[in-house]
Structure 1
Amino acid sequence: MSAPPPPRTAPPRYPLPDLNTLPDDIKAKVLEVQEKAGFVPNVFLALARRPAEWRAFFAYHDALMLREESSLSKGDREMIVTTTSAANRCLYCVIAHGALLRIYEKKPLVADQVAVNYRKADITPRQRAMLDFAMKVCERSNEVEEADFAALQAHGFNDEDIWDIAAITAFFGLSNRIASFSGMLPNPEFYLMGRVPKQKSGA
């Protein structure tokens, strides 16, 4: 008895645009990312179907994630994204930013830990306080009160740092929802990034 034919899959509702059809500025940025990462993360193409929104999205992304006047490390920022994206059940952002988190923190287990239960993860008390606040902004921002600021200040965060935590959480709440409704899938490359040490040349 022959096996049944595989199910026919419908074409994606929002197919990724061809790189060569993009405006020059966006194409140049995508090629820059490809050169650095070795592949093009799907978010860069998925959002490029609307160039004005792509520019606005990545301008705000870079303003938050590359901001130098902050005590938040790159690992801290990716930890916020991974933890709150897991709460929002965003597959793309958990996998993609979890990969960056593993690389920046140099801990192959940390992204899985914070995505499941950050309270039991291998993180510092300062980072746990940061994530307590991020999760409150993520799930119950209307309940934020002065005591929440005091708890963060006890760990050395100032008011601008606290804005960063909240803004990153809020921005990626937007990103999570766009990625989820549009069916954006993480690139396979993200799954292994930061999990095993790179082989040394000549080994």
Structure 2
Amino acid sequence: MTTDTPQPTPVSRFPVADPADLPDDLADRYADVQERSGFLPNVFAALAWRPAEARAFFAMHDALMDKDTPGLSTGDRELIVVATSAANDCAYCVVAHGAIARIRTRDPHLADLVAVDWRKAPLDPRQHAVLDVAVRLATDPAAVTAEDLDRLRAHGLTEDDVWDVGAITSFFALSNRLAHFAAIPPNPEFHLLGRLPR
């Protein structure tokens, strides 16, 4: 007799480490994330089997994403991830970073609009310029010119901010491709985050 009970979607095509076997630093980080969010994002589970790479991945993520600067807020940074991940057809990153963008921009709709078509989303001219350059870098890197970088500077981005636009786009191009390669599904919990006021 067969049952119609759906089987859980695997977290990765590759081995998934037993949380009890994680090195102490990763175990602490994973426990902190799970405690704060109520779940462990699948990308954490998928990367855990390669601890050195997981550490490097999260260090780069934190260096790029966990800061507000005059030219790029944490919300702007998440919208770069959403727009470029949509251009790269990465469902994991669109869903996961769409949730974070909803929280960081305090807007329950903007990330969805950016994911569908950032060109029509209600963005200010600075945000529009940032996403224009970022999506071009994600889809046609050789088409990004010095004039594009000057346009970002003209919108008030510092040299560090301009670099961050390129670094975020490039880092998440790697993330998008790893998520595709390993077939990492977005956690169901991401779909509801940031949609309703707390």
Q: Shared topology, TM-score over 0.5?
A: yes
Superposed CA RMSD: 2.1
Equivalent residues in 2 for 1:23-172, closer than 5 Å: 23-67=23-67, 71-172=71-172
Residues 81 and 5 (structure 1 numbering): CA distance in 2 closer, same or farther, change over 3 Å?
same
- Which has more radius of gyration? 1
Q: Residues 71 and 157 of structure 1 are in contact (CA less than 8 Å); yes or no, is this contact kept in structure 2?
A: yes
Residues matched between the structures, number: 196
Q: Could you tell which deviates more after superposition, 110-119 or 65-74?
A: 65-74
- 2-side partners of 1:69 and 1:117: how far apart? 25
1:81 shift after superposition: 0.2
1:16 shift after superposition: 2.8
- 2-side partners of 1:19 and 1:132: how far apart? 40
- 2-side partners of 1:131 and 1:145: how far apart? 15
TM-score, with normalisation over the residues of structure 1? 0.89
Residue 146 of structure 1 aligns with an amino acid whose one-letter code is A
1:67 shift after superposition: 4.1
- 2-side partners of 1:54 and 1:125: how far apart? 36
Q: Could you tell which deviates more after superposition, 62-71 or 144-153?
A: 62-71
Deviations 1:22-69 (A, max 9, x none): 111111110011111111111111101111111111111111112456
Give the structure, 1 or 2, with the largest relative contact order (CA under 8 Å, sep 6 or more): 2
Identity of aligned residues (%): 52
Is there any run of 5+ residues in structure 1 with no aligned partner, and where? 199-203
Residue 100 of structure 1 aligns with an amino acid whose one-letter code is I
TM-score, with normalisation over the residues of structure 2? 0.91
